Chains A and B, each alone.
Chain A
Amino acid sequence: MGMKDLVEDLKARRQRALAMGGPEAIAKQHADRKLTVRERVDRLFDPGSFNEIGLLATHANIAPAMRGKETPADGAVTGFGKINGRHASVIAYDFTVMAGSMGRTAEVKCNRAREIALTKRMPMIWLIDSAGARIQEAIGSTFAQSGFLFREESIMSGVVPMVAAMMGPGAAGTAYIPALSDFVLMVKGTSHMALGGPPLVKAIVGEDITAEELGGSKVHTEVSGVADLEVADDAACIDAIKEYLSFFPSSNLEQPPVVPCEDPADRMDEALLSIVPDSARRAYDMKTVIAHIVDGGRVFEIKPGWAKNLITALARMGGRPVGIVANQPMVLGGALDVDSADKAARFIMLCDAFHIPLLFLQDVPGFLVGSKVERQGIIRHGAKMLYAVSEATVPKITVVVRKAYGAGYFVMCGKAYEPDLIVAWPTAEISVMGPEGGTNIIFRKEIAAADNPDEERARRVEAFRTLINPYIAAGGAFIDDVIDPRETRPVIVRALDMARTKQVQRPWKKHGVMPV
């Protein structure tokens, strides 16, 4: 063949690979309310920026059952491109090719994509729509030479951002890819993840359950907390990945990207005067406070449907990304439990790994008490949050909006946890415990001995209440200032600007022993 024919032959080979699993499988994919793998990748990357690697790959032909089969690109699209002008590497499973099952060749491609992300320090993105390992190729003790990706993913953790989007099934080993990623999205209705899918569950433990009930988006974004965000469809999923990454540097060697900010840094907000109710026992929506503080009111919440008594969100202040950890009085009165401590600890570690400053908004009556939470190990989970906030060396700003009680004050970056600025609203109540609880313990005997115990208790509670106002803490310079709520945004923006040059040296250690 001459060069012209050779080039024609190459073109034909490429076209066969780009055709994926064929028109019938593509129609089925669309009928299932899913984009094809190539439509997803097109939407993810800036136009014309995607460079595919391994387009001409095909299955390894190692199993009799695979003889004569065609597997375009071996069921996975891999490569690199630019997202809003910055490089990222992708592994996207093609469900139209043998249900996106991972064969030997596809693994080689995935190794390549991970190597690009790690050695060139760019985000790694997985678009998962896969039945799992390709059993035809994997069965038998050759399995001994597998599992490398999870070790590599662990090593990559905290070096480059890792995002896993569940856009179809993701069973067995495939479910550990999201588990080890920083951010996990699930498309509502079409995605599932479980260590064992329904047939395996039926065979092993005899439970009859649908894929949706077992590991659908509702389960993982509202009950288990394995996933971070439920999205309506494939398009919304890809858009959310891009928005999430916009807050992050390409790797831990860089600083988070700063964008031009149209919202004035010195904006005073009158609305902040009327959100917190006059009664300290009444709830209000902390999300309203956040919306009035951050740039343009724009907030990207992480795990909005799980452990709702604590809010974790990405936003910008003065154009700089900031990670917000805030108590939510609307749910459980803002009290902390095992899941909210877990959620906060993970989010703090995520932000710290990628140099995103943390903003803590406190209104916490404390940790839940009682036999139920003790059996769940609330001490261990609470310690996890203490550990994460202590370890974090990014700039930390704390605003005590209202309640700051007991260990709740500590884990929400109280003074001892190295906030670069800690201020309180005039509504702040700071104490080891609330006036009622404290009075009952300290003055138990006096109250019992009084002629009118109820009156005595009320008098003691009022006396106690005068001790918890923030002016005593500010008077001792234990907190840096009491601020007018309207000043909250300017105070935080100035503190973040001041803390940009923060340097913290820790004693050398291999690593700590995290209370997980």
Chain B
Amino acid sequence: MAEDVKAHITGVVFQITSKAGDVLAAGDPVIVLESMKMEIPVEAPRAGTVREITVAEGQTVQEGDTVAVLD
């Protein structure tokens, strides 16, 4: 079942570190946000395959926003 990967802090998308089709383990970074002057990874909540990344670098995201979808 698909699962949304959500930002747990408000910030700017600093780097997209995975792409559709990538197989990730739980805890692997999906993207990296910049917030509080820190690079903060958004991690995969469980093991799975990335279906899509729904944000672009430089985009501002709010806490709770979906940044990727995991299959």
Q: When chains A and B are docked, how far (Å) is the Cα of A370 from the Cα of B64?
A: 14
Q: Cβ of A365 and Cβ of B63 under 8 Å apart? A: no
Q: Cβ of B63 and Cβ of A372 under 8 Å apart? A: yes
Q: A81 near B: Cβ within 8 Å? A: no
Nearest-neighbor residue (CB-CB) of B38 within chain A: A333
How many residue pairs between the two chains, A and B, have CB atoms under 8 Å in the bound complex?
A: 40
Q: A100 near B: Cβ within 8 Å? A: no
Q: Cβ of A283 and Cβ of B36 under 8 Å apart? A: no
Q: Cβ of B37 and Cβ of A437 under 8 Å apart? A: yes
Q: Cβ of A282 and Cβ of B36 under 8 Å apart? A: no
Q: In B1-50, which residues have CB < 8 Å from any A CB?
A: 8-10, 34-41
From the candidates A283, A365, A437, name the one contacting B41 in the complex (CB within 8 A).
Answer: A283
Q: A276 near B: Cβ within 8 Å? A: no
Q: Cβ of A366 and Cβ of B41 under 8 Å apart? A: no
Shortest Cβ distance from A107 into chain B, in angstroms?
45
Q: Cβ of A281 and Cβ of B10 under 8 Å apart? A: no
Nearest-neighbor residue (CB-CB) of A367 within chain B: B36
Query: Chain B interface residue count: which class?
Result: 10 to 19
Residues of A within 8 A of B35 (CB): 332-333, 335
Q: A436 near B: Cβ within 8 Å? A: yes
A 265-283 binary contact with B (CB < 8 Å = 1; else 0): 0000000000000010111
Q: In A435-494, which residues have CB < 8 Å from any B CB?
A: 436-437
Residues of A within 8 A of B8 (CB): 332
Residues of B within 8 A of A436 (CB): 37
Q: When chains A and B are docked, how far (Å) is the Cα of A333 from the Cα of B40?
A: 6
Q: Cβ of A283 and Cβ of B10 under 8 Å apart? A: no
Nearest-neighbor residue (CB-CB) of B62 within chain A: A372
Q: When chains A and B are docked, how far (Å) is the Cα of A281 from the Cα of B36?
A: 9
Residues of B within 8 A of A282 (CB): 39
Residues of B within 8 A of A434 (CB): 37
Q: Cβ of B38 and Cβ of A281 under 8 Å apart? A: yes
Q: In A366-389, which residues have CB < 8 Å from any B CB?
A: 366, 368, 370, 372
Q: When chains A and B are docked, how far (Å) is the Cα of A368 from the Cα of B39?
A: 15
Residues of B within 8 A of A281 (CB): 34, 37-39
Give the residue among B8, B40, B63 with the most A Cβ atoms within 10 A: B40
Q: In A336-375, which residues have CB < 8 Å from any B CB?
A: 365-366, 368, 370, 372
- 6 closest A-B pairs by beta carbon, nearest first, are A333-B38, A365-B36, A335-B36, A333-B36, A434-B37, A281-B39
Given pairs A333-B40, A434-B37, 6 additional interface contacts (CB within 8 A)? A281-B39, A283-B38, A332-B8, A332-B9, A333-B35, A365-B37
